Structure 1
């Protein structure tokens, strides 16, 4: 990879990811009833589920007592929006400082993925009706919920291995187990890929920033 990446190219990458993410979600939402699945391979399925909370279906109300699910959902969506604004600022600043290409690509991936899931959370409750025992309609007379209370659409499932765990294993022996259990979407993949790039190529991603910190500063004597 080259050393720098322009904001224009980063924006193009973001737009491409957003289009793939939203087109796949629109297709699933308007073609599948909730929990409908298609087995593509033994290890890969298209499975329509909706995520009402954080990663792995966790809810903010699971950690904070005395807060309703709806209030927790609204708080989480607002937090995501604030976080995306922060990521956008990080992206623009990194481009202006001529950050490494790996860093710019990683931030763009994280931004696109976060924004893709925010679109679901903010608007999907208004523009779709529910998918319980039916295929949802786009722009119905009444959506399944209000603004900021939409559910994130997930559809990619990789049950690479399924079976009963050996009895000799502590705590989980004899239990039926699926690897990999979570269902996710293109936006989740973008976020994970961006974070993965920052972890695996940490030194290359932040190489320029480290050089600036280590560079000697010369001050003229008055």
Structure 2
């Protein structure tokens, strides 16, 4: 288990916080309800989406199923890659960032796979119920992903001289997202920032092995 402890702790803590927050949102808020944390710049806004991170979607029930299956395949691939990196002693920072990405992906697939089965429908006028007598609002792999973080930090109108979008309203940051999305984004960004440091050791090790082969 040496080398697995910290990545597993990070995965379980991220998943736990993600699911606790989503459960609270589902059971205590109606769809569209929101709480303003910092005026109109930091908002807890309950919404659900049928698709990808940050509210992007792949249309229809078939698209939803395809996306869920793709997520499962991607999670299995990430899990294998994480296991491989730990066993082969890759850079610790890279391993933890991949663990963060895995936890985020796993957090959203839990919503897609199980929320439709265990929750009743969230509506604009009624909160969801856990394990409703009549069954959930959907079937396995057809659940909706719960989103809640909304940070419209900058809003205004685009300059009229801009082509196509000139004069239109804009908001940054418009998408509503969740903790799982944040984990994925942070993991990817940190890998991009630290890629030279993370992969330097692997390049050096490969060069060392190649030089030994040439000498033989």
Distance 1:180 1:118 in 2: 24
Query: How far has the Cα of 1:57 moved from its partner?
Result: 3.1
Q: How many residues align?
A: 210
**In 2, are the aligned partners of 1:54 and 1:60 still within 8 Å (CA)?**
yes
**What is the correspondence of 1:67-78 to structure 2 with a 5 Å cutoff?**
69-78=60-69
Q: Report the RMSD for the aligned CA atoms in angstroms.
A: 1.5
Query: How far has the Cα of 1:161 moved from its partner?
Result: 1.2
Partner of 2:48: 50
Once the two structures are overlaid, the 10-residue window that deviates more, 126-135 or 148-157, is 126-135
Match of 1:120 among 102, 111, 125: 111
**What is the correspondence of 1:176-187 to structure 2 with a 5 Å cutoff?**
176-187=169-180
Structure with bigger helix share is 2
Partner of 1:90: 81
Q: Deviations over 1:44-89 (max 9, x none)?
A: 000011010123433334xxxxxxx111111111110111011011
Match of 1:102 among 79, 93, 109: 93
1:135 to 2:127 alignment:
yes
Q: Deviations over 1:100-127 (max 9, x none)?
A: 1111111100000000000000000011
Distance 2:26 2:58 in 1: 25
**In 1, are the aligned partners of 2:114 and 2:141 still within 8 Å (CA)?**
yes
